[in-house]
Structure 1
Amino acid sequence: MDISLVRERIAAAAAAVVLPTSRLTCTGYVPDAVTEPHFFVGEYTQEFDRTYRGMAVLEVTCRVLVGRADDRASQKLLDAMLASTGAASLKAAIEEARGEPGELALGGAADDLHVMRIQGYRWYEHAGVDYVGAELIIKVIG
């Protein structure tokens, strides 16, 4: 499995969300500076040889950060992106990249993926600036 390609394609899938007042910036890597709101693919763990075919399982930690110019509005926007459904839902947008039944996920970069959970809803400091944000944990099989 090409990890760089998986990271790029997760970010591309996340870019499909529709936000009410702004556009979500998405990167497949941890950025030096955040253009808010910003989704990025961070660290991951990898388990090798999960099947006899040598399939690997990744657990990818992604973050979404929102500016805090207005604490309430920022958290409402974050809540919309963390919902399980809706136009702003990161889960729905990313899982759309699973493809049709029988197709490979992420445009052929993986066998399957699943957004497993949201965690760490809190204030984050990134490059010296504070944001409200959360982590999405995605399981990728390939």
Structure 2
Amino acid sequence: MDVGAVRKGLARAVKAGVPSLNCFGYVPDSCPEPCFYAGEVEITFDRTFGRGLDEIEVTCRLLVSRADDRSGQAALDRYLAGSGPHSIKAALVAARGAPGELALDGLCDDLHLMRVQAYRMYQVGEVQYYGAELIVRVIGRG
């Protein structure tokens, strides 16, 4: 799998499902809010013999405005919902394709949003945001 293409594909998939988000397939220097980006990557090679399957775990981040504590956290909660028009989970489920199809428009075999963690304040440069990490597991040919 092409790690860079997968990160960009995750950002495209989230943008397609949640157009109100600014989405990046890389860690941006500044974050126009609300912001989703694909960050750190962990790769496990050779999950099956003969380079048959690799696994990538991508830590994505969602950052929203801290201008008002209540509305910022409410926005964060909407994006982290399991379903609905603002749901990142729903956008990623749609990017899996139909049964038997490759995910992310052919970039990988499958993907799964495993969990949300680290719901807290984040600082990027001089700006603080409410945010959370989304851990996405991606599998594909090695």
Q: TM-score, normalised by structure 1?
A: 0.95
Is structure 2 residue 96 aligned with structure 1 residue 125?
A: no
In structure 1, the residue matched to 2:48 is 51
**Cα displacement (A) at 1:17:** 3.6
CA deviation vs aligned residue, 1:59-108 (integer Å, no higher than 9, x gap)? 10000000111110110010010011111000110121000111000000
Where do residues 33-112 of structure 1 align in structure 2 (5 Å cutoff)? 33-54=30-51, 55-112=53-110
* Distance (Å, rounded) in 2 between the aligned partners of 1:71 and 1:53: 51
* RMSD (CA atoms): 1.0
**Cα displacement (A) at 1:53:** 4.0
Gaps spanning 5+ residues in structure 1: where? Answer: none
Q: TM-score, normalised by structure 2?
A: 0.95
In structure 1, the residue matched to 2:15 is 15
**Cα displacement (A) at 1:127:** 1.5
Structure that is richer in strand per residue: 2
- Give the aligned length: 139
Gaps spanning 5+ residues in structure 2: where? Answer: none
SS of match in other structure, 1:50: strand
Q: Percent identity, aligned pairs only?
A: 55
Q: Spell out structure 1 runs of 4+ moving beyond 6 A.
A: none
